[in-house]
Amino acid sequence: MFRNLRINLFIYYFLTVATFLGVLHYFLAVVIIENTFLLAIVLLSLVALSGVFISKLSVDPLQEHVINLQNLSKETLHELNLPISTIMTNTHMLRKNMSSEKDLKRLFRIESACVMLQQRYNELDYMIKKQTLQEMKENFNLDELVTSRVEFLQSIYPHIKFNLELQNMQIFSDKIGLSKVIDNIIDNGIKYSFNSNIISIKLTDGILHIQDYGCGMDEVELLQIFDNYYQSNKNMQGFGIGLSMVKRFCDMQNIQLSFNSKPDNGTTVLLKFKEI
């Protein structure tokens, strides 16, 4: 596709320039014209017309390609929903007839994996809708969202102790995007808490505090944490793009984001919301 597009653009650009130079030569060498303003109008018209055709030739195939990818993504996502629902329904039915502790543990692992698949499904659906610039905001309780994210992460990190102190608070925001932000912040806190298994989360006076008791950061590192691909510890898994995504989301949603951190004293992330 792109090879043919390059060839077509080259041919059209070559013919356009050749035509432009031919017209210019015709007016200057063959037609004796004293009205330079008319000449400028003719040349500018040719340039504008050429620009329209070149942009159409280059953008239309790309637009069609993107639309096809979006349709494929939507259709694939729709097909994924059925097997996920089927697995969840049947595991619930199997649980009713199971008494063996060993079998129940296996079933729990299947259910946990299915919940994670459902989470990925929701994220893909969210990304597709964001690409089409659909409005994703809704009213929801922030304390309930935080509790649900902690429950989800607890299944992934069973050794972590979460201390929760949450006031009831309702906000109007992008729920799925905020879920990803909370997951990312907590996940970072766990990864960089080498000698601690405690994460403290507090929601009070419209501010969400997520605190770890890990290695912390100095002032130089705090200035770099939002840079793409930055990682304070190069041995950690990941690509170092999480916090830059967090910052971008908070800026778009008018959420004030700040960090308090000191080396060897952990890090506290603060998200300040507007209550409705």
Residues 95 and 202 in one domain: no
In angstroms, the CA 89 to CA 91 distance is: 6
Residues 74 and 91 in one domain: yes
Instruction: Say how far residue 267 (Cα) sits from the centre of its chain.
Output: 24
- What's the domain range around 103? 1-134
CA count, 13 A, side-chain hemisphere, 93? 6
Burial (CB count within 10 angstroms: exposed 0-12, middle 13-18, buried 19+), residue 80: middle
Closest CA to 253 of 179, 166, 145: 179
Number of domains in the chain: 2
Burial (CB count within 10 angstroms: exposed 0-12, middle 13-18, buried 19+), residue 181: buried
Residues 88 and 112 in one domain: yes
Residues 171 and 266 in one domain: yes
Residues 229 and 122 in one domain: no
How far CA 119 is from CA of 64, 81, 88, 112, 183, in Å, comes to 29, 11, 13, 11, 11
Closest CA to 271 of 240, 249, 239: 249
In angstroms, the CA 193 to CA 187 distance is: 10
Residue pair 54/9 in contact (Cβ under 8 Å)? The answer is yes
End-to-end CA distance of the chain: 50
Residues 50 and 170 in one domain: no
Residues 171 and 69 in one domain: no
Domain-terminating residue out of 116, 134, 152: 134
Residues 181 and 230 in one domain: yes
CATH code of the domain in which 239 resides: 3.30.565.10
Domain-terminating residue out of 97, 116, 134: 134
Residues contacting residue 218 through CB under 8 Å, at least 6 positions apart: 261, 262, 263
Q: Considering the entire predicted model, what is its pTM? A: 0.59
pLDDT digit string (tens) for the chain, length 276 residues: 556 666 766 777 777 777 777 776 676 666 655 566 666 776 677 777 776 777 676 677 777 777 777 677 766 766 777 777 778 778 878 888 888 888 888 888 888 888 778 777 777 777 766 666 556 788 999 999 999 999 988 888 888 999 999 999 999 999 988 998 998 899 889 888 888 899 999 999 999 999 999 888 888 888 888 775 455 554 444 434 578 888 888 998 899 999 999 888 899 999 999 876
Q: Are strands 198-204 and 161-166 parallel, antiparallel or unpaired?
A: parallel
How far CA 31 is from CA of 24, 35, 36, 42, 90, in Å, comes to 10, 11, 12, 14, 84
Residues 155 and 67 in one domain: no
Residues 195 and 265 in one domain: yes
